[in-house]
Structure 1
Amino acid sequence: MSAVSVLDGCTVVTMDSEQHEYAVGHVVIDGGRIRSVAPGPYVPTGDDVDIVDGTGCVLTPGLVNTHHHLYQWATRGYAVDATLFEWLTALYPVWGNINERVVGQAASAGIGHLALSGCTTVMDHHYVFPRGGGDVLGAEIEAAGDIGVRFFATRGSMDLGRSDGGLPPDHVVESIDEILHASAAAIDLHHDASADSMVRVGVAPCSPFSVTTDLLREAATLARDRGVRLHTHLAETLDEDDFCRERFGQAPIDYMESIGWLGPDVWFAHGIHFDDKAIRTLARTGTGVAHCPSSNARLGAGVCRTRDLLDAGAPIGLGVDGAASNEATSLLEEARHALLFARALGGPTALGVRQALEAATIGGARLLGWEDEIGSIEPGKQADVCLWRMDTLAHAGIADPVAGLVLGTPPPLELALVAGRPVVRGGHLTRADEAALAAGAVEASRQVRAPVLAG
């Protein structure tokens, strides 16, 4: 097989800075990177190339997920009519039973499903580390390598247990020293800042209601000393807003600014309940927001003010969030929901189809600090791309392929490449057995349920 391949005859949606699109175009990939992007069919030059016929398809950058909890694939379908705090209270005892094997099985299933829905870069926020549970973060990273996706792992943490006024039960929290040591070790072992990196690591204390101020401050110092990014949940619910005002005497965004947790190296998950002042603060500091519309709706938490954030200039990406609060976990569906929810609040111009796709691609890459390598189809960038089949009954005849992609049902995924290597072909994973992944997910779910049922 040649090292050079050509995706030919497809509609090309680049998501570059000028949003070039070609109704019929081609992309040349060489050694895992994009060599050229051009309109019209490929004209053979005599080079030894592999040509992929993209007729009837639309080519986009691979989708970039900016917020997830992969271990939750083992606990889907719990507390389905609960608020966030009720849902967390119901699930923390179950999550206390996870271990390296459970997380590996859950992550493999979750990442495999994300890849099948066009996600080529997966971010995960893992913050539950039961004692004796083994290397759960390493299990996720191994699963991502097996499936073949690019992975941004964040070492999460909780040190504020229920006995100290926090939400999580005491048996799933760690000490600050344990957290900082483990976070530094994860960076040293797994973080790769190189241009061809497949794994990067960030530091991610869980949320204001599950961690102390001391942990947030020291985590920020560690991350900046090591040159990695910071992430946490913020402004997800009004309960959290009440918690911050009662405990710290400040709104969530003011609290985080007071302890040095704003800046272009920080992104927050959810960001639903930001007022006008908070949105201006995010934009001024370059702090990003991972919008998770399906999870927000599933938990009845509210709708992120995406139009206002974009107008202010705040960075925006999309996240599926944990599989226990978004059983579908499809990033393309998040683009659709982001658009529909924004328009339900702000009218038909509140979010365009290309703005929604931008949030799912280059917008997400910016949040992760990976925009120089992924998120758009441009010469020199990594060949992380998706070829969507748009000539089946569900999409045939749609005038605007981007509208078809975002507003229609998710189309069949003909091909997904990561660094030029096939991860999905013909709607199936190339490097993993989907039936085995499903069986592993069932086993993981049984393992975490068993101690709860026995108790």
Structure 2
Amino acid sequence: MSELTVIDGATVVTMDPDRTEHSVGHVVVEGSRIRSVSAGRYAPTGEDVALIDGTGCVLTPGLVNTHHHLYQWATRGYAVDATLFEWLTALYPVWGAIDERVVGQAAAAGVGRLALSGCTTVMDHHYVFPRNGGDVLGAEIAAAGDVGVRFFATRGSMDLGRSDGGLPPDHVVESIDQILGATAAAIDAHHDASPDAMVRVGVAPCSPFSVTTDLLREAARLARDRGVRLHTHLAETLDEDDFCRERFGQAPIDYMESLGWLGPDVWFAHGIHFDDNAIGTLARTGTGVAHCPSSNARLGAGVCRTRDLLDAGAPVGLGVDGAASNEATSLLEEARHAVLFARALGGPTALGVRQALEAATLGGARLLGWADQIGSVEAGKQADLCVWRMDTLVHAGIADPVAGLVLGAPPPLDLVLVAGRAVVRDNHLVRVEESALARGAAEASERLRHPAPVG
């Protein structure tokens, strides 16, 4: 029989269908799953348990990140005052030198930081595959496994280089045949559709201005054939809108719909510049949006219409985005910024603190097609849990602990469990040494700033 762990005496925010909250409650974990969630203190039953005192804490579902680029941890601090296209133009030549060692080191640091912000499921969109770079996708999957988080890897791609009218330099693009073959191989090697999966894989061409129409069409066909999900950037900037209208004669959402890129198995990153018609289309088709407020603000791209998307019924989750456009890399901070930016535009009722926390948990799980297993604290679901300490100086005495969690400074984490196993304890990583991650990140950054001469 699996050992029982009981987290007792915490405020429990479940995100279950009734959005139940217990001001004092307890959660019983058996193995990798939640056995029960109840109000009040735990009453011993005679079973052997590992009892964790949650007094003064808030227990929530683990946070779910729905858009990221882990390799960018090695290029933080570049082009800090640039627009998106200026930023990409400055960084593509640097990213062209990444390899599996750099990506592994960057990913380990990035995943570690995400875990320390309460993130238990990390989605990554990796689309830069330099020639002779090695197995960069495998490197980040291994890094996530070392830290101990659940991982959704998407095999990205670019086949529209600068010489063909795209944005990326030619040396970082691949042919369609290379892309489709490598994507199918990644699904075969890493995708686990089982209920206990720790790694899943999706199909993710980069963006309309870096891939061809043929690639988008064939990628959608491959994903549906293999039963995996589809992801790409869309409606991030007005420049992208102009590009789609000039090149394809359509708005971005209409272009993607013409290629079979809408449906409940699809989610788009950013979605800032969707008009009313596009929002209605997203809701009608069940297509999701990964809202990345900090990155969007850092690049001056705009603010996603989160309230309108939710009112229409479109699925919404939160994403940190790459560390080179969001150096803080904190998923909890994204919930705070989602609230603040929505209210700055739409007033004090534009987005509630519980709606933001839902987007960071159950909403994200829905985007990844994982809501049957993660995203809420319910009996039978995976024990992906965060225990936030709310009785320190910065939070003690706050009337609404959820408001404290979302609007206040990030609280320390007493415990983070993924599949019932500790990943963070006492605000430190458990399974990896943080100083080693920092050394690796510094080495990766140095290698990209001063690459070794060729030959």
- TM > 0.5: yes
CA separation in 2, counterparts of 1:453 and 1:212? 33
Q: Which amino acid in the other structure matches residue 168 of structure 2?
A: P
Q: CA deviation at 1:452?
A: 9.4
CA separation in 2, counterparts of 1:161 and 1:403? 46
Matched, 1:282 2:276: no
Matches within 5 A, 1:322-341: 322-341=322-341
Q: Look up the match of 2:393.
A: 393
CA separation in 1, counterparts of 2:81 and 2:31? 49
CA separation in 2, counterparts of 1:75 and 1:427? 26
CA separation in 2, counterparts of 1:324 and 1:316? 23
Structure 1: gaps spanning 5 or more residues: none
Instruction: Calculate the aligned-residue CA RMSD, in Å.
Output: 1.1
Q: CA deviation at 1:117?
A: 0.8
SS of the aligned residue for 2:201 comes to strand
Matched, 1:372 2:360: no
CA separation in 1, counterparts of 2:222 and 2:251? 25
Going from structure 1 to structure 2, the CA distance change for 1:304 and 1:106 (only over 3 Å counts) comes to: same
Going from structure 1 to structure 2, the CA distance change for 1:452 and 1:340 (only over 3 Å counts) comes to: farther
- Note the alpha carbon deviations across 1:330-353, whole angstroms, 9 max, x for none: 000000000000000000000000
CA separation in 2, counterparts of 1:5 and 1:451? 48
Q: Percent identity?
A: 85
Q: CA deviation at 1:451?
A: 3.1
Matches within 5 A, 1:25-174: 25-174=25-174
SS of the aligned residue for 1:124 comes to strand
Going from structure 1 to structure 2, the CA distance change for 1:449 and 1:82 (only over 3 Å counts) comes to: same
Q: Look up the match of 2:448.
A: 448
Q: Look up the match of 1:308.
A: 308
Going from structure 1 to structure 2, the CA distance change for 1:339 and 1:169 (only over 3 Å counts) comes to: same
Going from structure 1 to structure 2, the CA distance change for 1:230 and 1:56 (only over 3 Å counts) comes to: same
SS of the aligned residue for 1:361 comes to helix
CA separation in 2, counterparts of 1:264 and 1:452? 45
Q: CA deviation at 1:306?
A: 0.2
Q: Look up the match of 2:320.
A: 320
- Note the alpha carbon deviations across 1:187-226, whole angstroms, 9 max, x for none: 0000000000000000000000000000000000000000
Q: Is the 8 A contact 1:2 1:49 kept in 2?
A: no
Q: Is the 8 A contact 1:69 1:322 kept in 2?
A: yes
CA separation in 2, counterparts of 1:450 and 1:207? 29
Matched, 1:246 2:254: no
TM-score, scaled to structure 1: 0.99
Matches within 5 A, 1:255-274: 255-274=255-274
Q: Is the 8 A contact 1:68 1:322 kept in 2?
A: yes
Q: CA deviation at 1:17?
A: 1.2
CA separation in 1, counterparts of 2:397 and 2:44? 30
SS of the aligned residue for 1:23 comes to strand
CA separation in 2, counterparts of 1:401 and 1:205? 40
CA separation in 2, counterparts of 1:57 and 1:90? 44
CA separation in 1, counterparts of 2:219 and 2:17? 34
Matched, 1:292 2:312: no
CA separation in 1, counterparts of 2:18 and 2:319? 24
Q: Which amino acid in the other structure matches residue 165 of structure 1?
A: G
CA separation in 1, counterparts of 2:79 and 2:346? 30
Q: Which amino acid in the other structure matches residue 330 of structure 1?
A: S
Q: CA deviation at 1:449?
A: 1.3
CA separation in 2, counterparts of 1:390 and 1:84? 37
- Note the alpha carbon deviations across 1:57-110, whole angstroms, 9 max, x for none: 000000000000000000000000000000000000000000000000000000
Matches within 5 A, 1:347-426: 347-426=347-426
Q: Which amino acid in the other structure matches residue 332 of structure 2?
A: L
Q: Look up the match of 1:23.
A: 23
Q: Is the 8 A contact 1:77 1:327 kept in 2?
A: yes
CA separation in 2, counterparts of 1:13 and 1:224? 35
CA separation in 1, counterparts of 2:229 and 2:350? 30
CA separation in 1, counterparts of 2:212 and 2:247? 11
- Note the alpha carbon deviations across 1:257-281, whole angstroms, 9 max, x for none: 0111000000000000000000000
- Note the alpha carbon deviations across 1:419-440, whole angstroms, 9 max, x for none: 0000000000000000000000
Q: Which amino acid in the other structure matches residue 137 of structure 2?
A: L
CA separation in 2, counterparts of 1:322 and 1:453? 27
Q: Look up the match of 2:181.
A: 181
Q: Which amino acid in the other structure matches residue 390 of structure 1?
A: M
Q: Look up the match of 1:234.
A: 234
Runs of 4+ in 1 over 4 A off after TM superposition: none
CA separation in 1, counterparts of 2:51 and 2:205? 46
CA separation in 2, counterparts of 1:450 and 1:213? 36
SS of the aligned residue for 2:451 comes to helix
SS of the aligned residue for 2:405 comes to helix
Q: CA deviation at 1:450?
A: 1.2
Q: CA deviation at 1:2?
A: 6.5
Q: Is the 8 A contact 1:2 1:50 kept in 2?
A: no
Q: CA deviation at 1:453?
A: 10
CA separation in 1, counterparts of 2:24 and 2:86? 51
SS of the aligned residue for 1:34 comes to strand
Q: Which amino acid in the other structure matches residue 114 of structure 1?
A: L
- Note the alpha carbon deviations across 1:152-179, whole angstroms, 9 max, x for none: 0000000000000000000000000000
CA separation in 1, counterparts of 2:322 and 2:355? 24
- Note the alpha carbon deviations across 1:7-60, whole angstroms, 9 max, x for none: 000000001111000000000000110000000000000001110000000000
- Note the alpha carbon deviations across 1:274-312, whole angstroms, 9 max, x for none: 000000000000000000000000000000000000000
Q: Is the 8 A contact 2:2 2:31 kept in 1?
A: no
Q: Which amino acid in the other structure matches residue 333 of structure 2?
A: E
Q: Which amino acid in the other structure matches residue 365 of structure 2?
A: A
Q: Is the 8 A contact 2:2 2:30 kept in 1?
A: no
Q: Is the 8 A contact 2:149 2:423 kept in 1?
A: yes
Q: Which amino acid in the other structure matches residue 338 of structure 2?
A: A
Q: Is the 8 A contact 1:93 1:452 kept in 2?
A: no
SS of the aligned residue for 1:414 comes to strand
CA separation in 1, counterparts of 2:450 and 2:95? 12
Q: Which amino acid in the other structure matches residue 134 of structure 1?
A: G
Q: Which amino acid in the other structure matches residue 39 of structure 2?
A: P
